[in-house]
Amino acid sequence: MFDLVGFLKSVIYNVLTIFSFGRKKLSNTLSIYVKTNTGSTLAVDLEPEMDIRDVKMMVAPHLGLEPKEVKIIFAGKELSDSTSISECDLGQQTIIHAVKARAILRRMNDKRLLESNASEKIIETVSTKPLCETMTDLQMTDECSEEMRASAGVRRKAHFFVYCSQCEKVCTGKLRVRCSICKSGAFTVHRDPACWDDVLKKKRITGHCENYDTPCVENESGDPPFTEFYFKCAEHLSGGEKDFAAPLNLINFNHKNIPCIACTDVSETVIVFPCEAGHVTCLECFRQYCVSRLLERQFVEHPLGGFTLQCPVGCEGSYIDDVHHFKLLSKEQYERYQRFATEEYVLRNGGVLCPQPGCGMGLLVNPECKRVQCLGGCGFVFCRNCLQGFHLGECLETPQPNSESSQGYTIDPLRACDARWDEATKIAIKVTTKPCPQCRTATERDGGCMHMVCTRSGCGYEWCWVCQTAWTRDCMAAHWFG
């Protein structure tokens, strides 16, 4: 009996086969670059199921070596032959290093290396541990502790976050290392970083540079060079060893399921403030917190963190010390943050701001200098005391009347002042605002009582709108509500 259904299936299959002839099949091929210490760079295509032994066989002929004479180094580790490509956390166009295997010469003093047996153990650990169990399998903490090192066997996979200027957003990141002297990635670390201080602070972990026949040394004593850690964005193609992104060490993967102190939701990624309690907010609540403080000019100048904020709870010693975290603001908000930070710096250091509308350039000038020119800005020359155009003699509140006119009529100077288009905003400010008696910040009263509190960060002076002096019980009794 003729099978019509089977015949039709066969015809359709053959037609599809003919039309698909010559087309590329989908593949997970990884295109990477192998950099040698001779200066040459090789482009190779790898499959996830391949291992480092296969890479050595591909690279060795180009170096004139046997596969067993080649070492493959990536992210501060010598990769073992049995390590698979899928374990290495490689991305497209990633750079790995291939060097000639040789006896590692270590010229360390006795304080850094007690016994030759200990050094052999370090070398063996570095060269046999798979990459996924070392550099990418870290759960960073804020402080190093013996207890944390003891629990290294039950680590969770780390999630690093960075601000990528190319992607213009917060992205996941990858931790990478290089020699602090020659900046080469052909570098193996003597130990893994155990905390954020190991990564962010200099000269914490030593290593061995494989870039030259004569290894880099830190000093005349032959001490090994220090490791330089940096981060790369994991969400775009690698731009080489000079491609890096700013680490956001306060953003963490919420593996403990801690609720946000503001909205109480449990988010996947959170901000952990550097306070003793480790208060947590979600990223959206952190943005809202920053925006509200920005509009109220409540950011403060901190000796270590710059123009920054502390934990919303007000915990002591909880100031954010890396301003890259404020990149979570929108572009317009971050530009305002930078402008406010500049203005605060200028004012705190005895400087002035250019009074020309649309300029506002910050100028640091000699305290005795009365004539100020806006160099680098609009070029306006003004009086430091009254912020009007530069003049000789005492400062005047209003311009002198001018009775002479080429048109044969006189002009009321007060009306002329009101009629100037560019001065409209300045006049409105003079009418509707008064300066804080303590810091001289312009303050606008839009209703309510006469009890004013300066909103400028670090001031908070309480004063009377009518008397323009410190707020007292007499003010409360006489004109609290006008």
Please identify every residue annotated as catalytic. Answer: 449
Cα separation, 79 vs 468, in Å, equals 72
Cα separation, 63 vs 30, in Å, equals 22
Contact 199, 171 (CB under 8 A): no
Closest CA to 269 of 289, 251, 290: 251
In one-letter notation, the amino acid at residue 349 is N
Distances (CA, A) of 10 to 2, 6, 363, 374: 13, 6, 82, 83
- Token representation of residue 301: 């100048």
Read out DSSP for 268-304? SEEEE-SSTT--EEEHHHHHHHHHHHHHTT--EEETT
270 forms beta bridges with 252, 282
Q: Would you tell me the crossing angle of helices 283-295 and 331-348 to the nearest 10 degrees?
A: 50
Phi, psi of 261 (to 5 degrees): -70, -15
Cα torsion 48, 54, 60, 61 to 10°: value is: -100
Number of separate helices (H) and strands (E) present in the chain: 10, 24
Sign of CA dihedral 250, 251, 252, 257: positive
Phi, psi of 60 (to 5 degrees): -55, -45
Matching residue, tokens 């990478």: 176
